[in-house]
Amino acid sequence: MDLQTITYIVVGLSFALYLGIAWWSRAGSTQEFYVAGGGVHPIVNGMATGADWMSAASFIGMAGLIANMGYGGTVFLMGWTGGYVLLAMLLAPYLRKFGRFTVPEFIGDRFYSNSARTVAVVCLLLASVTYVIGQMTGVGVAFSRFLDVSNETGIYIGMGIVFFYAVFGGMKGITYTQVAQFIVLILAYTIPAIFISLQLTGHVLPQTGLGGNLVESGQPLLERLNQIILDLGFKEYTTEFAGGSKLNTFFFTLSLMIGTAGLPHVIVRFFTVPKVSDARKSAGWALVFIAILYTTAPAVGAMARYNVHATVNANVVKGGDLFDNSALLSHSAKPEWMVRWEHTGLLKFNDKNGDGLIQYYNDKNKNPEFVAKTEAAGWKGSEMDVNPDILVLANPEIAMLPNWVIALVAAGGLAAALSTAAGLLMAISSAVSHDLIKSVINPNISEKNELLAGKISMAVAIVFAGWLGLNPPGFAAGTVALAFGIAASSLFPAIMMGIFSTKINKQGAIWGMITGLFVTLFYVFAHKGIFFIQGTTYTDLIGGPNSFFGISPEGIGAIGALVNFVVAFIVSKVTPAVPANIQQLVESIRIPRGAGAAHDH
């Protein structure tokens, strides 16, 4: 059976599974719609949380980033998993005990202000909408490559699938669908990794294969990979820091950590369990399930990078002369996987010197000796442009694995993107229907009408997310970093101070969120070239790239959070104190007794 047919069968069966579960678990009340009835088992919730968190960025992009960045890419592993430790220890149990449906509801009640609630809704919408762009784009990429449809058609199909199980099922339908999606995506990620690890190193576990020796030469995999990419002018794989400095790596990691702990679609998962202790258990189980993929990702990244170089520069892998052009891959002899991915636009060729061969190397290398050698060999620049996002999806094809494995990867990539998109859309819907309509605009709305408003909000959010996927804004490449920066600089400090301080009042919380958000957005957009003044794009409004002590835009969320904390404390000092009943409420949250059921009010 050919690859296309197998892919249709595997993806079709996975979609049928999701839709069947969604119909079985459709929501009939606001409590089921917002928090799945509040009775989800910790292990089930841990699996759903894993699927909710392991988005297209984790499944498709993370290993590609590690392959591209080398050691520096581990900031994503440390930041994202570290964020879950923060959730388990500092946020989830207390938020669950507070007994509310959403993050803005907690902020609104804790800071006794609908204005604080509204600011939190705006921050939530900004973070969730920017994050969902990447998920819809990932859906389009996976569909266009594996199902032989256009990117636009793929996004429309993804919208339809999410619409069915999210609008009708709410959080209840999303939860049990995400359990199925977790199983699909984790199998799709680990099975190819095991195959490739066996091929290259003889190790069954990719985690040990990463530190193992190559079957062909007996040389350590990482040592050989370092040699290859250094010969091609790239930076050493095992010694690079994110952004080029330890300081930036620290802030980058910290921003990802507190951004993770502040993302609303992740936090809301801990409102679905029966007890406070179950919230901690859920976070623990989520870490276990996430670790399966996250400990595999470094091996997938390194092996994918090795395989790409092995395909193009066969002489480098075999230890021959780098500039023996006869050993380079001929354009006319491109393997099938290259031809297939070339059609997506994510793999591009340009024969700059017209020799009919593909040269793939770092043509931006500033080393005069290296540049002189490339020019002497007649090379006119690197002739292959590889988008890192394709490496996980293309790796099984590069390794010539069976068609059913390639089809499984397609289903896994779609499961990862759809599961996180559904969680984000649920957070958006809840913010609009529950935190704006129910709590601010019309407090007397009936449960039936609130449920209808939630479903309509979800439908509108899906259409809007699809439109953004079809027409991504100019800063789409940085949307994941932007989403984490927004959550880190606005929501995380407000939640932390709301739980652990009785001194922060509503004015402090509001101005803290606003200033933290402003600092982050300004820094990110200034670097992305979003500011336009009289027709001119200004990218150096803050002094040039990484001007703030060398900190990249991806790490500025931590600085925004610090600003948020400082402003909140200063404003709270010069404005009226927190009412006594709110202080007592804050103290009661931290007393380790009782659970408090999530309730609608």
> What confidence tens digit (pLDDT) does each residue in 241-258 have?
655 677 878 888 899 899
Q: What is the mean pLDDT of residues 153-167?
A: 79
pLDDT digits (tens, 9 = 90+) for 474-533: 444 456 667 888 999 999 999 999 999 999 999 999 999 999 999 998 887 776 544 333
Question: Which parts of 232-296 fold into alpha helices (H)?
Answer: 246-262, 264-267, 276-294
Residue 202 lies in a domain: yes
Residue 476: predicted pLDDT: 42
Distance of alpha carbon 481 from alpha carbon 112, whole angstroms? 31
* Same domain flag for 40 and 129: yes
Residue type for position 476:
A
> Are 271 and 598 a contacting pair, CB within 8 Å?
yes
Q: State residue 386 phi and psi, 5-degree precision.
A: -110, 120
Q: Are the beta carbons of 260 and 84 closer than 8 angstroms?
A: yes
| 568 lies in some domain | no
Q: At 577, which helix (H) or strand (E)?
A: none
Reported confidence tier of residue 594, pLDDT bands at 50, 70, 90: very low
Q: Are residues 289 and 315 located together in one domain of the fold?
A: no
Percent of the chain with pLDDT over 70: 85
Mean pLDDT value of segment 295-300: 90
Q: pLDDT value at position 495?
A: 93
Of residues 388 and 576, the one with the higher pLDDT is: 576
Residues 16 and 82 in one domain: yes
Question: Could you tell me which residue, 233 or 343, shows the higher pLDDT?
Answer: 233
Low-confidence winner among 90-99, 333-342, 532-541 (lowest mean pLDDT) = 532-541
Q: What is the dihedral of CA 98, 102, 107, 109, to 10 degrees?
A: -60
Q: Where residue 598 falls among pLDDT bands split at 50, 70, 90? A: very low
Residue 477 lies in a domain: no
Q: How many CB atoms lie within 10 A of CB 553?
A: 24
Cα distance between residue 395 and residue 404, in whole Å: 14
Encode burial over 53-75: b for 16+ CB neighbours within 10 A, e otherwise.
bbbbbbbbbbbbbbbbbbbbbbb
Q: Please report whether residue 523 resides in a domain.
A: no
Q: What is the DSSP letter of 361?
A: S
pLDDT in tens, 164-199: 767 777 777 788 888 888 898 899 899 999 999 999
Q: What is the mean pLDDT of residues 395-421?
A: 83
Residue 522: which residues within 8 A CB-CB, separation 6 or more? 542
Of the pLDDT bands very low, low, confident and very high (cuts 50, 70, 90), residue 310 is confident
Which residue type does 294 have?
Y
| Domain C-terminal end among 427, 448, 472 | 472
- Are residues 414 and 14 in contact, defined by beta-carbon separation less than 8 angstroms? yes
Of 220-234, 238-252, 268-282, 584-598, the poorest mean pLDDT is in: 584-598
Query: What distance in Å separates the CA atoms of residue 46 and residue 211, rounded to the nearest whole number?
Result: 30
Instruction: State CA 412 to chain mean position distance.
Output: 15
Average pLDDT, the chain: 80
**Does 335 share its domain with 291?**
no
Q: Are the C-beta atoms of residues 419 and 180 closer than 8 Å to each other?
A: no
Rounded to 10 degrees, the C-alpha dihedral 374/377/381/383 comes to -130
CA–CA distance, 199 with 192 (Å, rounded to integer): 11
Are residues 290 and 310 part of one domain?
Answer: no
Are 124 and 179 members of one domain?
yes
For 94, phi and psi rounded to 5 degrees? -75, -40
| Whole-number Å distance between alpha carbons of 335 and 349 | 13
Domain of residue 429, CATH code? 1.20.1730.10
Q: How many angstroms separate the CA atoms of 340 and 324, rounded?
A: 27
Q: Are residues 114 and 169 in the same domain?
A: yes
Query: Is the confidence at residue 596, as pLDDT, over 70?
Result: no
Does residue 208 carry a pLDDT above 90?
Answer: yes
Q: What predicted TM-score, i.e. pTM, was given to this entire model?
A: 0.80
Last residue of a domain, one of 346, 366, 388: 388
Paired residues of 328 in beta bridges: 313
Q: Is residue 393 part of a domain?
A: no
Buried b / exposed e along 521-539 (16+ C-beta atoms within 10 A): bbbbbbbbebeeeeeeeee
* Average pLDDT score over residue span 69-82: 79
Model confidence pLDDT, tens digit, residues 16-48: 888 888 777 766 667 777 666 667 888 988 898
Host H or E run for residue 347: strand 347-349
| Overall average pLDDT of the 137-148 stretch | 71
Same-domain pairing of 104 and 196 = yes
User: Which H or E run contains 58?
Assistant: none
35 vs 427 pLDDT, higher one: 427
Kindly provide the b/e burial profile for residues 125-152, where b requires at least 16 CB atoms within 10 angstroms of the residue's own CB.
bbbbbbbbbbbbbbbbbbbbbbbeeebe
Higher pLDDT, 345 or 183: 183
Which has the minimum average pLDDT: 59-68, 290-299, 517-526? 59-68
Residue 497 lies in a domain: no
Alpha carbons 340 and 337: distance in angstroms, whole number: 5
With respect to residue 447, please indicate whether it lies within any of the assigned structural domains.
yes
Instruction: Quickly count: other Cβ atoms within 10 Å of residue 115's Cβ.
Output: 14
What are the DSSP calls for 376-418, one per residue?
HTT--S--EEE-GGGHHHHHHHHTT--HHHHHHHHHHHHHHHH
128 and 267 assigned to the same domain: yes
Domain closes at, from 472, 496, 524 = 472
User: Does the structure show a pLDDT above 70 at 545?
Assistant: no
pLDDT value at 228 more than 80: yes
Q: Residue 489 has what pLDDT? A: 94
Q: Is the pLDDT of residue 535 over 50?
A: no
Burial (CB count <10 Å: 0-12, 13-18, 19+), residue 194: middle
pLDDT of 437 reads 85
Number of domains in the chain: 2
DSSP-based three-state secondary structure for 538: strand
Residues 139 and 50 in one domain: yes
- Do 63 and 195 lie in one domain? The reply is yes
Domain-located, residue 515? no
For residue 316, give its domain range: 304-388
Structure tokens at 409: 């990867």
The residue written with tokens 């609009």 in the block is 432
Q: Are residues 99 and 240 in the same domain?
A: yes
Residue 262: phi and psi, rounded to 5, are: -105, 0
Cα dihedral 70/71/75/76 (nearest 10): 40
